[in-house]
Structure 1
Amino acid sequence: MAHSDLTIADRIQSGLDTLTRAERQLAHAILENYPASGLGPLSALAKDAQVSGPTVLRMVQKLGFSGYPEFQAELREELRAKAKNPIAKHDTWTEGAPSGHVLNRFTDAVIDNIRHSLAQIEPDAFDEACALMADTGRAVYIVGGRISHTIAEYLYLHMQVIRPGVIHVQSTSNTWPHHLLDIKEGDVVVICDVRRYENNTLKLAEMVHARGSKIILLTDQWRSPVHSLSDICFSSRIVVPSAWDSAVMPLLLIETMISAVQDLLWADTRDRMEALEDMFDQTKLFRKFT
């Protein structure tokens, strides 16, 4: 079997420029409903992508597999990894853990995550996402899930200072429908959704997509189902020697976005920050040492 630190989706995306027209058509069909799209018979995938069987075989060989069965076997492995709960993830790691100290092992894993993730991010897509978030003619809605709400709130806290019209949306279905009343065509919805993907988040994405909103998705290497609805999708590697997934790469991406949007709007952002500091002084929120 072809082993790689990259998922099959990563390898497809990184090699799109090397594919023929038919192979690129097949690649997009696979990514559209990944990984389920490649789990059926070869003939079904070829029919769905409107390409020939030999095109499918050439494609999987370009990805490093000897044939379609080996390609499917790795997809199934990815699917099992995607569905793991925290206890299963911890057991899998400790079985093959190296003897080095956890500080070194964890740091090595995080550095690998950053390196592989950044290699897959298109600078033009990143710039487009930041430009959308900096467009004050659009409202920006930010939503996260059970765990990812922490980084969503971090993004919201900074964006709310940088520009007006930023709304934090709780992902629970008894609160977010109220925000749908105000979401308009062209507004921006930033969604943080990593495994185990939440049904509420997908339903929210479907509804804001139907309203013509622009969806920016921050997800993991297996990609949330929301990716099929998103206008821009950033995938971060999140596996570390822990029962929990790492938020380091998603947070790095978010902090870089904050910096980029701040630079785009700096004149207005500086005025907002000065006004905020004046309010802090009046309320004596922070200690003064002078």
Structure 2
Amino acid sequence: MAQADLTIAERIQNHLDKKLTRAERQLAHAILENYPASGLGPLSALARSAEVSGPTVLRMVQKLGLSGYPEFQAALREELSAKAQNPIAKYDTRAEGLPSDHVLNRFTEAVTDNIRHSLAQIEPEAFDAACALIADPSRGVHIVGGRISHTIAEYLYLHMQVIRPGVSHIQSTSNTWPHHLLDALAGDVFVIFDMRRYENNTLKLAEMAHDRGAKIILFTDQWRSPVHALADICLSSRIVVPSAWDSLVTPMLLVETMISAVQDILWQDTRHRMEVLEDMFDQTKLFRKFT
């Protein structure tokens, strides 16, 4: 993917621990801590908050492939605008230059590019740590999604409910999730899905779970939900496709991989649970038998 197609956060992640000095890494972490708002103020304010010099800010901006601080801020403002786009605005934006080839080809190409780029950004150690947290039988696991992402949250829940005990699916509406928080213990895991048009209810839930000592695993997009500031592990995916809607293909890939990984960690116990469950299915005649 071309450098110009990357978000500022993605460019920073590409450079962390590789091409940045100690002071520049300190600046990078300061930017990511309150992204993208941290870079929207004056250069002097950013340098002061990161406890680095003005020239350090300029050097790092240039390492990110930008001509200077004004271009850096313009890119951040464009990202901020993209975060807030509703489906109608997204359709109007992409309709201006539609390629002539078939939508199947265009959509598949976009999804494939999203997957490739997202996997390049995710640290295997962070993914493994997320799976280990979810597989820990001493921790309760609570899964929650938003207006659209609740579908992928429920998909994860249905599988985890088979794989291990102590899993709950939380509806994102604020009149239901306080009941789940009531029983949540310090060290429990909250798996939260929050994609752009980030939901206030989801952020409030994350804040309250964090205050109770919960671990938070966040599935989000390339711009990152505000929940990322509270998350122990943040798994970001690119979601833009030629549509008025964003794509959940890449988050779903991560979810299905996570299901497989957690199943492998807990296989002996999971196998027993699956055998008991299959016996229940047979008794209730839920599935049709052909033999």
Partner of 1:205: 206
Partner of 2:6: 6
1:148 pairs with 2:149: yes
What's the CA shift for 1:265?
Answer: 0.3
What's the CA shift for 1:97?
Answer: 1.4
Q: Tell me how far apart the structure 2 counterparts of residues 254 and 268 of structure 1 sit (CA, whole Å).
A: 21
Partner of 2:76: 75
CA contact (8 A) 1:6 1:116 kept: no
2:203 counterpart letter in structure 1 = L
Any runs of at least 4 consecutive aligned residues in structure 1 with deviations exceeding 3 A, and if so which?
none
SS in structure 2 at match of 1:4: helix
Q: Tell me how far apart the structure 2 counterparts of residues 53 and 5 of structure 1 sit (CA, whole Å).
A: 26
Q: Tell me how far apart the structure 2 counterparts of residues 6 and 139 of structure 1 sit (CA, whole Å).
A: 36
Partner of 2:175: 174
Q: Aligned ranges for residues 130-145 of structure 1 at < 5 Å?
A: 130-145=131-146
1:90 pairs with 2:78: no
Q: Tell me how far apart the structure 2 counterparts of residues 106 and 69 of structure 1 sit (CA, whole Å).
A: 33
1:152-171 deviation digits (Å, cap 9, x = unpaired): 00000000000000010111
Query: What is the aligned length?
Result: 289
What's the CA shift for 1:258?
Answer: 0.1
What's the CA shift for 1:3?
Answer: 5.4
1:10 counterpart letter in structure 2 = E
1:275 pairs with 2:276: yes
Partner of 2:120: 119
What's the CA shift for 1:5?
Answer: 2.1
Unaligned segments of structure 2, at least 5 residues: none
What's the CA shift for 1:83?
Answer: 0.8
1:154 counterpart letter in structure 2 = Y
1:71 counterpart letter in structure 2 = F
1:219-238 deviation digits (Å, cap 9, x = unpaired): 00000000000000010000
1:228 counterpart letter in structure 2 = A
What's the CA shift for 1:96?
Answer: 1.2
Partner of 2:59: 58
Q: Tell me how far apart the structure 1 counterparts of residues 163 and 5 of structure 2 sit (CA, whole Å).
A: 37
1:230-278 deviation digits (Å, cap 9, x = unpaired): 0000100000000100000000000000000000000010100010010
SS in structure 1 at match of 2:183: coil
Q: Tell me how far apart the structure 2 counterparts of residues 96 and 112 of structure 1 sit (CA, whole Å).
A: 19
Q: Tell me how far apart the structure 1 counterparts of residues 189 and 197 of structure 2 sit (CA, whole Å).
A: 24
Q: Tell me how far apart the structure 1 counterparts of residues 15 and 258 of structure 2 sit (CA, whole Å).
A: 26
CA contact (8 A) 1:134 1:264 kept: yes
Q: Tell me how far apart the structure 2 counterparts of residues 277 and 4 of structure 1 sit (CA, whole Å).
A: 51
1:16 pairs with 2:27: no
Partner of 1:159: 160
Partner of 2:195: 194
Q: CA-atom RMSD, angstroms?
A: 0.9
The normalised TM-score by structure 2 is 0.98
Partner of 2:218: 217
SS in structure 1 at match of 2:216: strand
Q: Tell me how far apart the structure 2 counterparts of residues 103 and 66 of structure 1 sit (CA, whole Å).
A: 37
What's the CA shift for 1:135?
Answer: 0.3
Q: Tell me how far apart the structure 1 counterparts of residues 3 and 91 of structure 2 sit (CA, whole Å).
A: 21
